[in-house]
Structure 1
């Protein structure tokens, strides 16, 4: 039955997706700047409200989490989630897997697959769901990628752990941890970056200096606090930095290289490397650090005769951190990752204001920022969010995680044996494996030839949507729903609650509406699901219980498949 409906669903998904997807948009509402309007904590969220909240804040709805949100309220749930320690260490997971692999093959080495297994294990089973979703969002802003052969699996696992550990801390600390992590040093070539040499014509590598400003902090243009561009007298956007700023900042990022308890020239160039060098912050080597004048973003570090890489780094990161662009830049990126592709300037401004001052005089408090993102009127008020231009495309990784969590998926092996899903014939996306430093998609992407451009709307995730990737998702979901996913179909859903309702097609439609559509299912989709489910006969008479259960299971799988390949699901609202 699933196979017979696949072609129809594919056509619906592609055609309607291009019409409705991620138009994201701030659809109507949202007041002026100032502090974020927070829903009263005394109001108990309805089922549908709790489901929408969890869709934005986690990797997917579960019955238990709905109850938790209703019992604690939005604010209470956020507080309890932020208080949870990280559920597990990705680095420890991959190290344990390596020990297991080497028990049967002493020559075995780690591959990205071991990180992917750790990722799926945590996003499905981790109780710290807000942290899981936040570190995934941060990994698409502070990009390091396993697609680069220089980035090793153990180091990448450590980097992802670092993002999670700092998800609710201060942005300034996060920026420093990112800057000093050896995987970022490898990926954006700041590791072993040497000071200038006039005799040879060598200049410091400018890669990290450019990208830390463009992609991780201030962006290309000067911003108002609401995220709109500042304009010059001719109405043109004003550049936020120049090539001279890049060159000056690049000098700061010299003299950073592999960790060593006893640093030498050899360890700087990766010889006699410490066993933990790939998972320990880079060491600062004064002999390789520039001592010439460094000017950037209105700050000048004078020339000196004494190398001070730590002092220069502090000045540089403080300068970036205090730039007025950082608040609106991070506000919009996080809103786009979690809530809607095109937030109104008012929404961005409210969140940026919290970044600038959490109410207690602290700048860069990420716990306050994420609270502002998720409790703002434009995130919570259904009257605001039902406009035709509101929402975002659910990226493929999130969709598969939604399925696993909603329908009780478990791993037979306990290791979540799911490898790369990067192929366009699969999900077209694997965690921490973007094709470039610009992530899987750009935050300002507009699909060519669509009405979005005419409406001045962006749909970032649409950059990885085409006929091939839509087909890949439908095929992948068909296999997952029908038989499981991963090596040997290691990860399977139970559908226990769904099977119990499958005799009643209407009740089954209500169930999938609750678990993946936040009770926003249209009457058209509901009718399609009910009619299709009723087309699967449940045997009676002399049928065995096994035959009856098989029919009920097929009904449940069909309802899930139709819901999760519908444009109504793919576009999160």
Structure 2
């Protein structure tokens, strides 16, 4: 364990250098720049370069950065022994703790206008004093999210679920109800490796989504168009027609739908109300059930539009139908739409691997979605998510030892990934607190609390001064960059994050740097080891030499008994602060 010390001053010019370096190395995709494929082109799936050959240490680290919340040396060694495909097969079956807290639906069962002030069933003063946090907010889920990210055996499922939560956004900024938010995030995790059609239908029927985007209680007279628009724009086919490789035909955006199309979908999805279970009269009348966020919304046939409507991409919804039939018709039209595979596939590549995948990479992932098969994974049914994730992670553009030399490859580690990756590398123990309102806010990403349905950052955010995009750079600025360094300082120099007094069983977050401390006698070996685990061996020679020299300044003669701790602490801090760690490559 590294003992707590006062924070060392930041190196002169480090912040400026970091920001400039991030902009230089964080945006692109590189790789194959083949010409766009036509929508109907069948793109063969190549054999990944790994095959049955044991992964290299660098590629094992890279794979774990893409498929988990961060590698450790033990994880790297294990993956090299097992291999990519067996590891994926085991992760597709792995089950973790996921979201075991936030079960209570009392806020919608009590039947009171102000639950926190009037409900008398609190077990103790702690629950009474923290009612909003524990019953209404996503903060308990955030605690569990970070604990799962640190310790969960189902790393790929959780990494996939985080990505899906940023495609199918609901937010505590608009929806209050811890149990409902828990149900929604659990659903994304449960269905992450199933079929996309089932996932899209479950998202549509969620009362949390219904509340967030105004689908619930939509009557046939004049439905709210909010959910219908985002279903088309964000959750399935996107606003512009796409080739199978994600490019625009002719380089121009041709709309996939117009406002009449949005309105037709809105009418087709009328007549859904909350599940049974709520008792509060607020917001309920006639056919509308009281607010309740567990289960799926219920159909009310009498409030469903019966006019003939056009379906997305062509086709017609008959005038005489049930709400369930109309919903299935809309979901099927989107599921079969040629835009869906490249639109969703490219965004998942961006969340896991690289911000600017080549058209050929997107085309191969799209083909895996269509065929339901990739690298021996998948059921052979369109939309198989195991095939989709296998195609993303085993693609030649994701694998290989030459990525560090490509200045346009990679993605900025978003704050949740930065936090979890740092803590995993430092063998931290944590209760998961402190990362919601405080550090999450400082770094720009409070999980499950996005500012809008467009997520924390858009997929097409342009990286200033370049011709590529860098999505997570939309929430990166001087303040959030400094906050990353301050968090590393707190963990390494301030004894970690202290337990909060108002939470039973709170432990705070502390690190265990003994594995790095054991290497402190040899600065070169220490920095090399950190480079391999945190940066895929990607530290440039001049930066590595500078860190080694800075670490070597600490010695017993001049700095007393704690010189080894100071060496380990300095080495870890400087690698975590480097642009090469901030950008996942």
| TM > 0.5 fold call | yes
Alignment partner for residue 524 of structure 1, among 533, 542, 554? 542
Alignment partner for residue 243 of structure 1, among 249, 259, 274? 259
Alignment partner for residue 44 of structure 1, among 40, 54, 75? 54
Q: Name the structure 2 match of 1:475.
A: 486
Aligned partners of 1:309, 1:270: CA distance in 2, in Å? 16
Alignment partner for residue 103 of structure 1, among 124, 139, 145? 124
Alignment partner for residue 324 of structure 1, among 324, 338, 359? 338
Does residue 5 of structure 1 match 2:23? no
Evaluate the alpha carbon distance shift between residue 74 and residue 571 of structure 1 in structure 2; reply closer, same or farther with a 3 A threshold. Answer: same
Q: Name the structure 1 match of 2:351.
A: 337
Evaluate the alpha carbon distance shift between residue 465 and residue 369 of structure 1 in structure 2; reply closer, same or farther with a 3 A threshold. Answer: same
Evaluate the alpha carbon distance shift between residue 538 and residue 188 of structure 1 in structure 2; reply closer, same or farther with a 3 A threshold. Answer: farther
Does residue 284 of structure 1 match 2:290? no
Q: Secondary structure at the match of 2:568?
A: helix
Aligned partners of 2:479, 2:356: CA distance in 1, in Å? 26
> Structure 1 length normalisation: TM-score?
0.88
Instruction: State the Cα deviation string for residues 133-190 of structure 1 (Å, max 9, x = none).
Output: 0001111111111122x33222111111111001110000000111111111111111
Evaluate the alpha carbon distance shift between residue 531 and residue 333 of structure 1 in structure 2; reply closer, same or farther with a 3 A threshold. Answer: same
Query: How far did 1:10 drift?
Result: 1.7
Structure 1: stretches of 5+ with no match in the other structure: 197-202
Q: Name the structure 1 match of 2:24.
A: 19
Aligned partners of 2:142, 2:310: CA distance in 1, in Å? 41
Contact map agreement 1:425 1:471 (CA 8 A) in 2: no
Query: How far did 1:406 drift?
Result: 1.1
Does residue 495 of structure 1 match 2:513? yes
Q: Secondary structure at the match of 2:85?
A: helix
Q: Secondary structure at the match of 1:279?
A: coil
Q: Name the structure 1 match of 2:565.
A: 553
Instruction: State the Cα deviation string for residues 427-455 of structure 1 (Å, max 9, x = none).
Output: 111111111111111111114xx321xx3
Evaluate the alpha carbon distance shift between residue 423 and residue 58 of structure 1 in structure 2; reply closer, same or farther with a 3 A threshold. Answer: closer
Evaluate the alpha carbon distance shift between residue 30 and residue 408 of structure 1 in structure 2; reply closer, same or farther with a 3 A threshold. Answer: farther
Query: Number of residue pairs matched?
Result: 540
Does residue 145 of structure 1 match 2:154? no
Contact map agreement 1:151 1:187 (CA 8 A) in 2: no
Evaluate the alpha carbon distance shift between residue 568 and residue 185 of structure 1 in structure 2; reply closer, same or farther with a 3 A threshold. Answer: same
Query: How far did 1:121 drift?
Result: 0.7
Query: How far did 1:558 drift?
Result: 1.5
Aligned partners of 2:205, 2:11: CA distance in 1, in Å? 48
Contact map agreement 2:273 2:297 (CA 8 A) in 1: yes
Runs of 4+ in 1 over 6 A off after TM superposition: 96-101, 261-265, 422-425
Evaluate the alpha carbon distance shift between residue 216 and residue 262 of structure 1 in structure 2; reply closer, same or farther with a 3 A threshold. Answer: closer
Aligned partners of 2:470, 2:278: CA distance in 1, in Å? 49
Query: Within 5 A, what are the aligned runs for 1:169-180?
Result: 169-180=194-205
Q: Secondary structure at the match of 1:4?
A: coil
Q: Name the structure 2 match of 1:200.
A: none
Structure 2: stretches of 5+ with no match in the other structure: 1-5, 38-42, 108-120, 374-378, 501-506
Does residue 252 of structure 1 match 2:268? yes
Evaluate the alpha carbon distance shift between residue 352 and residue 425 of structure 1 in structure 2; reply closer, same or farther with a 3 A threshold. Answer: closer
Aligned partners of 2:533, 2:287: CA distance in 1, in Å? 52
Alignment partner for residue 580 of structure 2, among 565, 568, 573? 568
Q: Name the structure 2 match of 1:199.
A: none
Aligned partners of 1:160, 1:379: CA distance in 2, in Å? 27
Query: Within 5 A, what are the aligned runs for 1:119-268?
Result: 119-148=145-174, 150-196=175-221, 203-231=222-250, 236-260=252-276, 266=285, 268=287
